[in-house]
């Protein structure tokens, strides 16, 4: 059954919901949230939601949370993704309209989300002070990305040339799975 006949949701994620990994559940010896049978469908859905964040900024945080479980999604992760779809169903027309014009001023925001990882109790970026700087730096990089991607590319090429790093192609089928 699709979502067309389902009730819409007023928020993209249930309040105070804590989604966890399989490893975390194993530590707690919890078996009440089994793995999702169809991992591929979850990965496809989250991939589409990631693309949608370009114009739907209101879903960025939830999509970031859902994308952390791409390797081993559980039923609770699928249910949260379905709630996101029900939210999108209720809120059409809230996307950011990108018009071709000059931008004189741009206001950006960032959030550190300190110690939010349930598995490690660490922030995504490190210690609090360091995380704040990294969060700000990440926002600045996003704003002026074109210039910085060139610097990143040259940096990586230089390290490859110097022999400090080596890149190898690994087929998706040979990627390590943590399930």
Residue-wise pLDDT for 107-154, tens only, equals: 777 766 656 666 666 655 456 677 778 778 877 877 777 766 777 788
Lookup: tokens for 176: 């390590």
CA distances from 91 to 7, 29, 126, 132 (A): 13, 38, 35, 32
Alpha-helical (H) ranges within the chain are: 22-27, 39-52, 60-67, 75-90, 128-143, 145-162
Q: What are phi and psi of 76, to 5 degrees?
A: -65, -35
Residue-wise pLDDT for 33-53, tens only, equals: 888 999 999 999 999 999 999
pLDDT at 60: 93
User: Would you kindly state where each structural domain of the chain is located, as residue ranges?
Assistant: 22-90, 106-165
pTM of the model: 0.58
Which among 15, 22, 14, 39 has a CA at the least distance from the CA of 179? 22
Interatomic CA distance for residues 101 and 83, integer angstroms: 35
């Amino acid at each position: 059954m699709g979502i067309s006949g389902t009730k819409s949701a007023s928020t993209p994620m249930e309040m105070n919901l804590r989604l966890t990994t399989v490893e975390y559940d194993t530590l707690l010896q919890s078996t009440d949230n089994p793995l999702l049978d169809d991992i591929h469908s979850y990965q496809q859905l989250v991939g589409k939601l990631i693309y949608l964040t370009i114009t739907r900024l209101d879903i960025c945080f939830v999509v970031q949370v859902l994308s952390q479980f791409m390797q081993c999604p559980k039923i609770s992760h699928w249910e949260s993704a379905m709630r996101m779809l029900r939210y999108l169903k209720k809120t059409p027309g809230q996307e950011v309209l990108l018009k071709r014009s000059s931008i004189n001023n741009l206001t950006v925001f960032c959030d550190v989300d300190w110690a939010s990882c349930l598995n490690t109790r660490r922030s995504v970026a490190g210690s609090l002070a360091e995380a704040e700087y990294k969060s700000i730096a990440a926002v600045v990089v996003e704003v002026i990305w074109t210039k910085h991607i060139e610097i990143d590319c040259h940096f990586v090429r230089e390290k490859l040339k110097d022999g400090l790093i080596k890149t190898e192609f690994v087929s998706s089928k040979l990627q390590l799975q943590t399930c």
